[in-house]
Structure 1
Amino acid sequence: MDLRIQRSVVSHLRTRPKALEIGPFVAGLDPDTESPFINYASPVPGAPITAADVAALVTAFTEAGRKPRLEYVTSCTLELEALLLGAGFTVEVRNQYLICTPSTLGTPPVPADFDLREPETDRDRAAVITAQNEAFGDFSGDPSEDAVARMRRHQENGGVTLGARTRDGVWAGGGQAVPPNDGLSEVAGIAVREAFRRRGLGGAITAGITRRLFDRGAEVAWLEASGDDSWRVYERIGFVPSGYRLYISRD
């Protein structure tokens, strides 16, 4: 499973607006945002990697005006972490990821007075992004046109975006999943505004996204939990622990 996950990540990066092949790495860059969570690289499984390759990666990111950053499944490239640390990189976090299949997925009830729906207009997309941002502690205001356009492209390219909305039209949270590749898709960005938490919305959104992935032919959904609370939510709906991924960057 580790190898399938890593291959899927690399394939997804190749679909970015500005994808770069840098030796044994694939970098997925987006000219519309400097966010390091969107602009990052990952190694091609099985490709040999040298210190010179890492130096070339740093140069490519620097020339693009982006922070050098990688995300990858650790078991697929065991020697890479030492090379990165030697080049001045710092580990951000090491997360265990969880996987779910159609046979393990549970479908919790959607809490009363809420509907789950995919945003169909840019106004709704902006509202979902705002809800996610606020849930993650970002109260900077309305999302940019680029962020809304990115969500629209995401949906048009086969990705899933799902939001939870109250019966009176307030978007309480949301999440998304990348377009399936090799039968796999990553679920991410699950977020619920503080005022709507502790009602089961996080689990309902995650299950709703995952069910849509399976209905569209995905074989495996995977995600990472940010803490004990979310870990329990994901396990309750059928996600089980699997391998580990490393997030590492250089200032």
Structure 2
Amino acid sequence: MPLPLLDRLESFYDAVPRLDARAEPHGALTLFVRDGGGFPYYARPTIGAGTPTAVDVRLVRERQRELGITQAFEWVHETTPGLLEVVEAAGIAVLRAPLLVLDGPVRTPEVDAVVRVPEPDEPGFLDDVAVVRAVAQLAFSTPGTGLGDTGPRDRDTLLPTVTPVHVPKFRYALAEDAADGVVAVGMTQRAGEVAEVVGVGTLPSARRRGLGAAVTAALAVDALELGVDLVFLSAGSEEIARVYERVGFQRVGTACVAEVE
């Protein structure tokens, strides 16, 4: 029998950080720690250990302060419902992000841009990785779906400062406008037969054109073609979730994200 959906997601969440981080047990929480550079990880409930306590949360926060990293926790509310109360009681605000799973065929929107998924052996691949990171950084600096002034000129100014490091677990997608170049990007990260769509962002000046949905669709199709049988993502808001629903994703729960600098 296949694992239930939420159990498969929990296994994925536990497996992905272990690809490039070490796991430290702290009661019913596991803190994933990266040595050296790269995105700092978070603490998650340990599979099969029950609901983390206030003491577990305090111990993890002390360790994160010792390491000089953000005090961050992530979990799925439906899997560990009691953790929300514990974290909020500690005075940490919690983002409740819609958790969606691809349900049925991918619905790819028609857009006025070329969407592509580059291969690691293609010429210019690391240049593409750098552009993905630059566009994502600018997009997430102005969250939401509203139009804004940040655009290609800001991307080109930021680009020389970006170090293009390819992590093998990632696949990348770029939406390229004929006039303005790459204006929307996204990634998937994979563990086994499960892939998560992450980092989908559009430059504010290019929003409201369906580019984020098109990038998401391209990443989902790419993952399925590579043998994945479960594609999921978390949306930053209900409004953003509706963009993904138009591609074929359906809400199955709530991903909780809590951070303190």
Aligned counterpart in structure 2 of residue 92 of structure 1, from 87, 91, 94: 94
1:97 maps to a residue whose letter is L
Aligned to 1:246: 256
RMSD: 2.5
1:26 maps to a residue whose letter is T
| Aligned-pair CA distance for 1:243 | 0.8
Matches of 1:25 and 1:3, distance apart in 2 = 17
Q: What percent identity do the matched residue pairs reach?
A: 23
1:24 maps to a residue whose letter is A
- Residue 200 in structure 1 maps to residue 210 in structure 2: yes
Matches of 1:113 and 1:107, distance apart in 2 = 13
Contact 1:180 1:213 in 2 (8 A): no
- Residue 15 in structure 1 maps to residue 19 in structure 2: yes
Aligned to 1:171: 182
Matches of 1:136 and 1:70, distance apart in 2 = 19
Shift of the 66–124 alpha-carbon distance from structure 1 to 2, 3 Å rule, reads: same
Matches of 1:51 and 1:233, distance apart in 2 = 36
Matches of 1:218 and 1:249, distance apart in 2 = 30
Matches of 2:240 and 2:117, distance apart in 1 = 21
- Residue 108 in structure 1 maps to residue 109 in structure 2: yes
Contact 2:23 2:30 in 1 (8 A): yes
| Aligned-pair CA distance for 1:12 | 1.1
| Aligned-pair CA distance for 1:169 | 7.5
Aligned counterpart in structure 2 of residue 40 of structure 1, from 31, 39, 42: 42
Matches of 1:89 and 1:14, distance apart in 2 = 28
Aligned to 2:117: 117
Matches of 1:196 and 1:160, distance apart in 2 = 22
Contact 2:185 2:201 in 1 (8 A): yes
Aligned counterpart in structure 2 of residue 63 of structure 1, from 66, 81, 84: 66
2:222 maps to a residue whose letter is R
Matches of 1:128 and 1:141, distance apart in 2 = 12
Aligned to 2:136: 132
2:199 maps to a residue whose letter is G
| Aligned-pair CA distance for 1:228 | 4.6
Encode CA deviations 1:203-227: one digit per residue, 9 max, x unaligned: 1100000111111111111112234
Q: Secondary structure at 1:90's aligned position in 2?
A: coil
Contact 1:3 1:45 in 2 (8 A): no
| Aligned-pair CA distance for 1:72 | 0.4
Shift of the 107–113 alpha-carbon distance from structure 1 to 2, 3 Å rule, reads: closer
Matches of 2:78 and 2:31, distance apart in 1 = 19
Aligned to 2:33: 29
Matches of 1:117 and 1:169, distance apart in 2 = 18
Contact 2:183 2:203 in 1 (8 A): yes
Matches of 1:124 and 1:201, distance apart in 2 = 17
| Aligned-pair CA distance for 1:168 | 6.0
Matches of 2:23 and 2:118, distance apart in 1 = 28
Encode CA deviations 1:185-211: one digit per residue, 9 max, x unaligned: 211111111232222211110000011
Matches of 1:54 and 1:228, distance apart in 2 = 28
Matches of 2:206 and 2:189, distance apart in 1 = 25
Aligned to 2:231: 221
| Aligned-pair CA distance for 1:17 | 3.4
| Aligned-pair CA distance for 1:171 | 1.1
2:229 maps to a residue whose letter is E
